Amino acid sequence: MPKFLIERELPGAGQLSGEQLQAISQTSCGVLRELGPRIQWIQSYVTDDKIYCVYIAPDEATVRAHAEKGGFPANRINRISTIIDPTTAEVRELVHEA
């Protein structure tokens, strides 16, 4: 199933209290339960004025439905095509089967 990166513009996001972040998370989880198991929230990153969220969903429309039902901004939704990390730089030996 595809992964999506959602950019949510939220001025002052980095100043939200733990209680506020908990309330936002609870709202999100409630909407996820309503939408069913095909959409999953992986994690989010909070910066000064934005929150970046990673979701697994069948399509962008499902991600947008979550945002609308939860009252969250979804300023940009990008489908993740590939994930790389430091291990991507490693040279891998090709194993030939005999």
Residue 91 confidence (pLDDT): 78
pLDDT at 23: 96
Asked if residue 95 is part of any domain, the answer here is: no
Name the residue with tokens 């949510």: 8
Render pLDDT for 46-76 as a digit per residue (tens, 0 to 9). Answer: 999 999 999 999 999 999 999 999 999 999 9
Query: In this structure, is residue 67 part of a structural domain?
Result: yes
Distance CA 46, CA 64 (A): 19
- The pLDDT value recorded for residue 46 is 98
* CATH number for 57: 3.30.70.3090
Q: Percentage of residues in the chain with pLDDT exceeding 90? A: 87
Give the structural domain span for 25.
Answer: 3-89
Average per-residue pLDDT for the chain:
93
Provide the edge-to-edge strand list for the sheet that holds 3-9.
40-46, 50-56, 3-9, 76-80
> What is the number of structural domains in the chain?
1
